[in-house]
């Protein structure tokens, strides 16, 4: 928990932005608005398609004007409205983050097709993994939309989709590792079914997610700190569970009715992937002004998750094709 608090403090320290509050920026926006925003001014089609207004255009140019001055004078480069000054592309505010989000979308699409093609249809975890793919496809679509244009509604959809991805990750992790997928027909006589625990566990996750979203929607201002804490705690929970999968004595049976002393050849995969994901998230903490005003730490985080996502699907496939499933559960 101390580590969690430290991470949150570090993230909060780098997330703060002061550039848009500076008198120089405010003066620049007023001057730009006077020069650019007459009634006869019409923005190019590509900017109108992405919902840019004349005021947005003024703010965009002023972020670069103030950043240019800071570089010339050797001052610290500031963020504006929580973001660095990025060069846009065809109206997209953060083109690198958009591109890397689409790469994650591709990785999940390809990984989902791999599982659909290779995992037997009788496998009890197949529908849960199909849901995992759909939830993450939705997540990366909204990430792409948000990084294309930062609007209050695109921001909320991005954050709520990420929250859904985190909650679903914890949900299916518990289902898989504690064998809540088991149905009576898959069990020997007089063995109690764990399937009865699936409904209450699912209901709890749904209620927690809805309570989280409702709380954030009812606030007069979006509580970024609360949202970050919730997602970080959930992410650490299910990453810890998967890391324990690789241990010699995890707090569950890796495979139903198979002793943990029998370790599959891929047993270290989840720990390595989970640790890689934690390292990738650390890019969010050690933020820096974007290289060439295109690539920042946040976009690199999205880039780093692409091979992690693909390797995770490869692990899920290996885990699903282990002989223990065929011998004991799949009929």
What average pLDDT does the segment 68-97 reach? 87
Band the pLDDT of 127: cuts 50, 70, 90.
very high
Residue 321 to residue 5: CA distance in whole angstroms: 39
Band the pLDDT of 244: cuts 50, 70, 90.
very high
Give the pLDDT score at 284.
75
Chain-centre distance for alpha carbon 157:
12
* 283 or 251, which is more confident: 251
Structure tokens at 257: 């009715």
Q: Considering the entire predicted model, what is its pTM?
A: 0.85
Chain-centre distance for alpha carbon 309:
11
Give the pLDDT score at 3.
43
**Angle (CA) 166 168 173, round 5°:** 100
Give the pLDDT score at 50.
86
Contact of 51 with 149, CB cutoff 8 Å: yes
Band the pLDDT of 17: cuts 50, 70, 90.
low
Residue 315 to residue 273: CA distance in whole angstroms: 9
Q: Which residue has the tokens 């399937």?
A: 195
């Amino acid at each position: 928990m101390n580590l969690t608090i430290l991470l949150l403090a570090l993230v909060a320290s780098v997330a703060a932005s002061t550039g848009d509050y500076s008198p120089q920026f405010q003066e620049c926006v007023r001057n730009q608005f006077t020069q650019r925003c007459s009634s006869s001014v019409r923005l190019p089609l590509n900017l109108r398609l992405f919902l840019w207004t004349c005021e947005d255009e003024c703010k965009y140019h002023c972020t670069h004007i103030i950043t240019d001055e800071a570089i010339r004078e050797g001052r610290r480069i500031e963020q504006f409205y929580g973001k660095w000054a990025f060069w846009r592309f065809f109206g997209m505010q953060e083109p690198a983050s958009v591109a890397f989000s689409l790469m994650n979308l591709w990785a999940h699409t390809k990984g989902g097709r791999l599982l659909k093609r290779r995992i037997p249809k009788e496998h009890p975890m197949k529908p849960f993994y199909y849901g995992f793919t759909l939830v993450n496809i939705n997540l990366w679509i909204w990430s792409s939309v948000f990084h294309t244009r930062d609007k209050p509604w695109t921001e909320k959809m991005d954050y709520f989709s990420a929250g859904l991805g985190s909650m679903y990750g914890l949900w299916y992790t518990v289902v898989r590792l504690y064998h809540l997928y088991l149905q009576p027909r898959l069990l020997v006589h007089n063995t109690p079914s764990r399937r009865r625990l699936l409904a209450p566990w699912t209901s709890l996750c749904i209620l927690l997610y809805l309570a989280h979203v409702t709380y954030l929607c009812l606030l007069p201002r979006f509580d970024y700190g609360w949202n970050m804490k919730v997602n970080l705690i959930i992410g650490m929970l299910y990453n810890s569970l998967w890391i324990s999968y690789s241990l010699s004595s995890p707090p569950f049976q890796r495979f139903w009715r198979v002793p943990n002393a029998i370790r599959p050849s891929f047993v270290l995969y989840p720990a390595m992937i989970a640790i890689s994901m934690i390292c990738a998230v650390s890019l969010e903490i050690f933020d820096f002004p974007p290289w060439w005003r295109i690539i920042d730490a946040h976009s690199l985080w999205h880039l780093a998750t692409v091979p992690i996502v693909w390797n995770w699907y490869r692990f899920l496939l290996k885990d699903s094709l282990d002989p223990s499933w065929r011998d004991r559960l799949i009929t």
